[in-house]
Chains A and B, each alone.
Chain A
Amino acid sequence: DQQVKQNSPSLSVQEGRISILNCDYTNSMFDYFLWYKKYPAEGPTFLISISSIKDKNEDGRFTVFLNKSAKHLSLHIVPSQPGDSAVYFCAASDQGGSEKLVFGKGTKLTVNP
């Protein structure tokens, strides 16, 4: 039973445009959500997170939106750059970001110059 779902395996956008990556979850106990970015042959690196008490968190070009009623979150990257090309993993926890996480399957983002 997949508790965190990323239904788009891949996404392709043009440089300068917006990238929107989506994530759905089923466990209503999740109260902390994170996005990780992973380049080939490297470990994932933390990108941005959001607590369930918020509905939006921004960090530079990256914004995460949380819709608790729909159990849905999204990552917006504006403007997209070729260096953003990577696999993005959505993760969720009911104990916070440093404790046990449940990951989605990932979305491969390609930003074309």
Chain B
Amino acid sequence: DVKVTQSSRYLVKRTGEKVFLECVQDMDHENMFWYRQDPGLGLRLIYFSYDVKMKEKGDIPEGYSVSREKKERFSLILESASTNQTSMYLCASSLQGNPTDTQYFGPGTRLTVL
């Protein structure tokens, strides 16, 4: 079974803090993704990565950065957290080059920025 884990289920931070959200997958997947989910807005892609040290912007990258130093780990960084970044953050991974495959999601991190 594919397992995608996220470092925290719930996180509370202060405005202006630097926040790290970690995601690890154990299936040697090349692709990794970060989404945020907000009520009424669905899942929106923040960043994704097709390989180690590679990253591409998604639909809403502003205010975020990412790091992928190892294949199994993809980190989302909020350089200076703001209240509008309060959200559910979801990490996903997938195998490259298999169009009929799917993305596998972690359990999510509920981030509250006060």
A98: contacting residue among B4, B40, B43, B102, CB under 8 A: B102
Partner of B48, one of A6, A41, A100: A100
Chain A residue at minimal CB-CB distance from B44: A103
Contact of A98 with B94 in the complex, beta carbons under 8 Å: yes
Of chain A, the residue at the smallest CB distance from B96 is A98
In the complex, the answer to whether A106 meets B42 with C-beta atoms within 8 Å is yes
Min CB distance, B55 to chain A, in Å?
13
CB <8 Å contact, B108 and A99: no
- Contact A43 B95, beta carbon cutoff 8 Å: no
Interface status of A42 (Cβ within 8 A of chain B): yes
Contact assessment for B94 and A99 in the assembled complex, using a CB-CB cutoff below 8 Å: yes
Report whether A99 and B43 are in contact in the complex, using a CB–CB cutoff of 8 Å.
no
- Are the CB atoms of A89 and B42 closer together than 8 Å? yes
Bound CA–CA A44/B104 (angstroms): 8
Greatest chain A CB density within 10 A among B96, B102, B103, B106 is at B102
Stretch at the interface among A11-19, A45-53, A66-74, A76-84: A45-53
- Least distance between A64 CB and chain B CB atoms (Å): 13
A46/B99 in contact, CB under 8 A: no
Q: B residues engaging A (CB < 8 A)?
A: 4, 9, 31, 33, 35, 40-45, 48, 58, 90, 92, 94-108, 110
Enumerate the 6 nearest inter-chain pairs by beta-carbon distance, A residue then B residue, closest first. A96-B99, A43-B105, A98-B94, A105-B42, A98-B101, A103-B43
The 12 listed contacts between A and B (C-beta, < 8 Å) are: A42-B107, A46-B104, A89-B43, A96-B101, A98-B31, A98-B94, A98-B98, A101-B45, A103-B35, A103-B42, A105-B41, A106-B43
